[in-house]
Structure formats: C-alpha cells, structure tokens
Amino acid sequence: MNKSHPKFLLTTFGCQMNQADSQRLRGLLASIGYAETENEEEADLILFNTCCVRQHAEQRLIGRIQSLINHKKRNSHLIIGVSGCMAQNMQAELLEALPLVDLVFGPNDIEELPLLLQRAANGKTLGSFIGKGAFDGDSADGIVLSRPFSAMINIIRGCTNFCSYCIVPYVRGPEISRPLSELKNYISDLAARGVSEVTLLGQNVNAYGRDIGLEEGFTQLLEMIEGIDGIKWVRFMTSHPRDFSLASIKRIAQLKKVCEQYHLPVQSGSNHILELMKRGYSREMYVELIDAVRENIPGASLSTDIICGFPGEREQDFADTLELVQKVRYESAFMYYYSLRNGTEAAKMTEQLSENEKKARLAKLIEVQNLISLEESRKLIGQEYELLTESAAARDQSHLVGKTRSGRSVDFPGDKSLIGSYVKVRIEKARNWTLSGTLLNPGEKA
Ligand code: SAH
Ligand code: SF4
Ligand code: F3S
C-alpha cells in the first residue's frame, strides 16, 4: 500500500441518514490522510455504508461484495468494510456470511473509524455496536460535502416509533435529539463555510426535541435557522404525519427559508392496515394534515411513501390506498411491496401475502401514481422557478441540473460556472419526474 496516500471508495445505500453519515465518514478518512477514488482498482479501502430496510437492499450489497473476489485476490492489503444499518443488524454474522469482508461497524461506531482501520490492517475487525449514539466530533469542518453549498444534518438520531413492519428502531436505537444550541453553532459554521442550503434529517423530524424537553422543538429549530445569515433554503425529511401538528404548519408557513416540500409518508390508505402498522394516525387525520398544508403553504409539493401487500391487506384495503393516492394527487411517491424483516412485529403476523400478490399490487399502484405524476408535472410547464444549480447533467455536460424550492429537479442548458448559484428558469417540458427548462436572464444570478 502507498502509505503516504491511501485511497478509499465509499458507496452509500439507503436513506439520507446514511448519506449524512457518509459526509462524516469522508471527513474522518480525510483527517487520517485518505483520498477518495471512484476507481475500485486503485482503492486500498472499499467501504459500503449499508441499508437493511428491505431484503432487496441487502441482496444488492451481497452481490456487490461478491463481485470483488478477484480484486481481493490480487490485492492482499485491500480492506473491505461494511458500515451502516445492515452491519448493525448482523454484526459478527456478516463476517461469516461474507468472508471477503474485513471490517464491520455500525452507525454509532463511526467516530471510531480511524482506530478500527488500524485494527483491520491486522485482521478481521468488529465495531462495538453500542457507540455513544451522540453527535460528538461532528463539527462543521469535520464533514466532506459532495456539493460545497449544500449539507445534510442529522438533527435527531434513531427512532422510537416501532411501526410494526420496520427494522429501523432496532438498528438505529432510540431517538436522540441534537441540542438546539449545538445545531445553531454547527449551522452557522456551515454557513461561514459557504453552505446556503441545509437538509435537516431524522426518521421523524417532528419529534425533534421531545427527548430533551423542548415543546414544538422542530418549529423552534426552523425559527432559529431563519435567523442564520447565509442560509437561504431549508429542507427537511422525514415528517411523521402523527407528529406534524396543525399549529406548527401555521408557524412554518411564516418562515421564508423553509422550502415548500412536504414528504409525508402515509404507508397505507386503509384504517385497518394503518392500525396493524401501528402508525398512530387514521386516514381521516392524514387527509386533514394534507388539507392544512395545501391551505397554508401555497405551491407546496407533496410526496409520500407507500407499502403495499402488508400482512392482512385485503382487496378493499388496497383499493382504499389507490383511492387515497387519487384523492391527494402526490407529485411523487416511493412505493414498495412489503418485505418481511425478522424481529419486527409484522414478521409474526400470520396473513402474509404471496410474493406475486404483493408485486401485482405494487405494479398497479405504480401505474396509477405515474400517471398522476405526469399530469401534475405537465401543470408546471410555462411556470418560472428559482433553482439552486446543483451539478452538470449526467447525460449532457452542456446542461445543468438544479432543484426548485419544492424539490423538483430541472435540467436546463447552462454554463458550469453557475453550479452553486441560484438562477431562474422557465419549465418547457415534463416527463414523469424530470422537468426541463431554459434559463431566464442567463447573464444574471438570481
Ligand atoms: N421514518 C420514515 C421512513 C423510513 S424507512 C417514516 O416513518 O416515514 C423508508 C420507507 O421504507 C418507509 O416509509 C416505508 O415506506 C418503507 N419501509 C420500511 N420498512 C419496510 C418494509 N419492511 N417493507 C417495505 N417497505 C418498508
Ligand atoms: Fe420505521 Fe416507523 Fe420509525 Fe419510520 S417512524 S423509521 S417507518 S419505525
Ligand atoms: Fe436503511 Fe438504515 Fe436508512 S435501514 S432506510 S439506511 S436508517
């Protein structure tokens, strides 16, 4: 190994919590002299930050690791590491299941990475998996941002909801909020570093502050960020419909920096299934929340997560979900079929549906939602939006991609010097989820 300049390749699976953790992993690796590479062949460390929310996520990882066999044979010094939720869930078992792996550590062991790497150079290594679960060491200059103007921030770790299908509370531990004063310093430091957009993350951001005695802590946090110079746009995810109060929507509507993007996972449109899922709200309460968002926040885009084929889901329950989707008309939805996760309550339910039934329902749901997405996207043609320019377009380097406040990506012709700045575009074309547009006042930055 070239000790003066070892290289790492990091692949992130799963949700934005993992992406935020990867910002920190990159920062830690940089602090001990590692440089990042995208090329497997030259990597001394290949690290996978993993997800275990559905079986499919796990299978993808196993396939990727097995494909490294020849590479590992050629480079005896290569360290293959697995971090994140799947690592936390399987721990030592993962080393047995995947002999190519040298290092396994969980989301709460991230700060230990430099030490763990030293040990991994001498043999198979495991994290402690208990960790501090806190936010120690995560300072604004301790993270590496893939876009220097945009940062993801974990405001609350873990989850205490125990929805009956979900493995996250078992692998991420209980909710722990990061103190408000600490977040104030952290976000101010990020702004001083040139960050203008922040995305606040948690499995349930609306629970922020509950464990540290704050009332309406999430709204307080947003109000605090409103006062930080340099931060222009604030996004957040994920909201739990049960904990999003109507009063907080009214307060948030007054805040100029908070973007009009509402991801409100409904999971099912049937009260019978919502109860079995232990979501803590009814269809009627959910619809009331959607109405409140639409009434108070003009132009808000709405998206959701839906699981079909949950144990015991009858035709009528599924029809209720389809009907809800048609009623709300989400701009987009993440749709899944139910995946059994060992150790969860739903895994023990007797009325499991067959793979075919679950897949058929998912296909129907996707068909209905795709049409709605397209119809909703077409309504945007001719409208003008402010965008934060994020990157060059992957398929055409003379095009850029930016995001609207409502979270829609727009492709438009433009010069790379605009990356990181706010511009105005007019939407010209719409496909399902992709919008394309043209730059207004090309010489000027919005
Ligand atoms: N905390 C967020 C969701 C985190 S997991 C929330 O409560 O909304 C992201 C999504 O994965 C969930 O919203 C759910 O739709 C899906 N999901 C979670 N467990 C699943 C399972 N066992 N099978 C299929 N989808 C699942
Ligand atoms: Fe999972 Fe429910 Fe927690 Fe979301 S709120 S992470 S679905 S247990
Ligand atoms: Fe997956 Fe862990 Fe996120 S299980 S969805 S990466 S919290």
Beta strands 197-201 and 176-177 are unpaired
In terms of Cβ atoms closer than 10 Å to its own Cβ (0-12, 13-18, 19+), residue 375 is exposed
Q: Which residues pair with 7 in a beta bridge?
A: 35
In angstroms, what is the span from residue 18 Cα to ligand 3's centroid? 7
Instruction: Map out the domains of the chain with their CATH numbers.
Output: 7-126 (3.40.50.12160), 140-378 (3.80.30.20), 384-439 (2.40.50.140)
- Kindly give the distance from the C-alpha atom of residue 203 to the centroid of ligand 3, in angstroms, as a whole number: 9
Round to whole Å and give the CA distance between 233 and 218: 16
Q: Relative to the CA of 162, which ligand 2 atom is closest?
A: 8
Q: What is the pLDDT of residue 273?
A: 98
Ligand 2: residue whose CA is nearest its atom 2? 163
Nearest atom in ligand 3 to the alpha carbon of residue 159 is: 7
In whole angstroms, what is the distance from residue 67 CA to residue 70 CA? 8
Atom of ligand 3 nearest to the CA of 53: 4
Contact 166 CB / ligand 1 (< 6 Å): yes
Ligand 2 neighbours (beta carbon < 6 A): 159, 161-163, 166, 168-169, 203-204, 240
Ligand 2 centroid, distance to 165 Cα (angstroms): 9
Nearest alpha-carbon partner for 220 in 232, 230, 206: 206
What is the 216 CA–ligand 3 centroid distance (Å)?
A: 25
List the one residue out of 352, 387, 372, 386 whose CA is nearest residue 430: 372
Q: How far is the CA of 55 from the centre of ligand 1 (A)?
A: 12
Instruction: Yes or no: say if 333 and 372 are a contact pair by the CB < 8 Å rule.
Output: no
Cβ–ligand 1 contact at 305 (below 6 Å): yes
CB-based pocket (< 6 A), ligand 3: 14-15, 17-18, 51-53, 84-85, 168, 171-172
Give the model's pLDDT for residue 141: 81
Q: What is the pLDDT along the chain (446 residues), one digit of tens a residue?
A: 445 689 999 999 999 999 989 999 999 999 999 999 999 989 999 999 999 999 988 888 988 998 898 888 888 899 999 999 999 999 999 999 999 999 999 998 998 999 999 999 999 999 988 866 556 556 888 888 989 999 999 999 999 999 999 999 999 989 999 999 999 999 999 999 999 999 999 999 999 999 999 989 999 999 999 999 999 999 999 999 999 999 999 999 999 999 999 999 999 999 999 999 999 999 999 999 999 999 999 989 999 999 999 999 999 999 999 999 999 999 999 999 999 999 999 999 999 999 999 999 999 999 999 999 999 999 999 999 999 999 999 888 899 999 999 999 999 999 999 999 999 999 999 986 789 999 997 655 54
Predicted model pTM: 0.93
CA 2 – ligand 2 centroid, Å: 43
Structure tokens at 421: 């700045």
Q: What is the pLDDT of residue 139?
A: 80
Contacts of 29 (CB under 8 A, 6+ apart): 8, 10, 36, 45, 113
Compute the distance between CA of residue 172 and CA of residue 20 in angstroms, rounded to an integer. 14
* CA 12 to centroid of ligand 3, rounded, Å: 11
For residue 83, list its beta bridge partners. 49
Distances (CA, A) of 130 to 111, 157, 171, 212, 287: 12, 14, 10, 21, 39
Contacts of 54 (CB under 8 A, 6+ apart): 336, 339, 341
Q: Which atom of ligand 1 is nearest to the CA of 306?
A: 15
Q: How many CA atoms lie within 13 A of 129 on its CB side?
A: 15
- Phi, psi dihedrals of residue 283, rounded to the nearest 5°: -55, -40
> How long is the chain?
446
